[in-house]
Chains A and B, each alone.
Chain A
């Protein structure tokens, strides 16, 4: 689910920032032929589901994993994880506005607003993925 979200939001973000008139047959030219708006519903659903599942798993992390990391002195890793949880919450609250920007756009909407909102969500998803991945493997580092 997280990988599907990662793929969808990355594709949409790159498609949003890519040149409007790319070279025919180029990578970004083919990239832009996929309508970015079609990803919006999937991204909202995947983000919400990933956040809910993450919130459930977080309970077990706090009891079973985090004390071990604290005893081992992995404070920066725990700091990165705290930042991740803050970002996830802020990103979840942006989902309704994100959906409106993609699925109910107005002609006077600045294009930059949609691109910026999508980029923020992409940053949050990538941050969550990378930090989660590092924490998942951290006990193996240096062993």
Chain B
């Protein structure tokens, strides 16, 4: 019963925290790592090719940040989830269950907003 309640708290907190942290990672470009699929290379942190060599390099050697953004949000959400799992059950009584779907829905809208520049090209 107790482990079931702990997992429930973890699952709810993880889902909500991930949605928030993913938007933050996307907005601030906080990728835990950058993937260069052409070279099969993974570099820690966010790296933009054009920052150091040449703007054209970004096209020739594509960098991928989605994996890194997801990893950043997953890591942060894991911490939040574990903390929530350790909290006493009585603290959860103040929790409105609606946050579980409202926060991801708002986060999805924010992701659409942050992707809007693609549609203005």
Residues of A within 8 A of B (CB): 55, 58-60, 62-63, 66-67, 70, 73, 75-76, 78-79, 82-83, 85-87, 89-90, 93-94, 96-97, 99-100, 104, 106, 109-110, 112-113, 116-117, 120, 124
Q: Are A96 and B104 in contact (CB under 8 A)?
A: no
Q: A75-B118, A79-B119, A109-B97 are in contact. Are A55 and B111 (CB under 8 A)?
A: no
Residue of A66, A82, A120 contacting most chain B CB atoms (<10 Å): A82
Closest chain B residue to A82, Cβ basis: B115
Interface contact tally, CB-CB below 8 A: 104
- In the complex, how many residues of chain B place their beta carbon closer than 8 angstroms to a beta carbon of chain A? 40
Cβ contact within 8 Å between B115 and A86: yes
In contact, A62 and B37 (Cβ under 8 angstroms): yes
The 7 closest A-B pairs by CB, nearest first: A79-B118, A93-B18, A96-B11, A116-B101, A86-B111, A75-B121, A97-B15
Q: Chain B nearest CB: distance from A118 CB in Å?
A: 9
Contact between A93 and B19 (Cβ–Cβ < 8 Å)? yes
Task: Report chain A residues within 8 Å CB of B107.
Answer: 90
Q: Which of A89, A109, A110, A113 contacts B70 (CB under 8 A)? A: A89
Interface of A is mostly: helix
Do A97 and B12 touch across chains, with their CB atoms under 8 A apart?
yes
Could you say which residues of chain B place their CB within 8 Å of the CB of A86?
22, 26, 108, 111, 115
Question: Which of A63, A96, A104, A109 has the largest count of B CB atoms less than 10 A from its CB?
Answer: A96
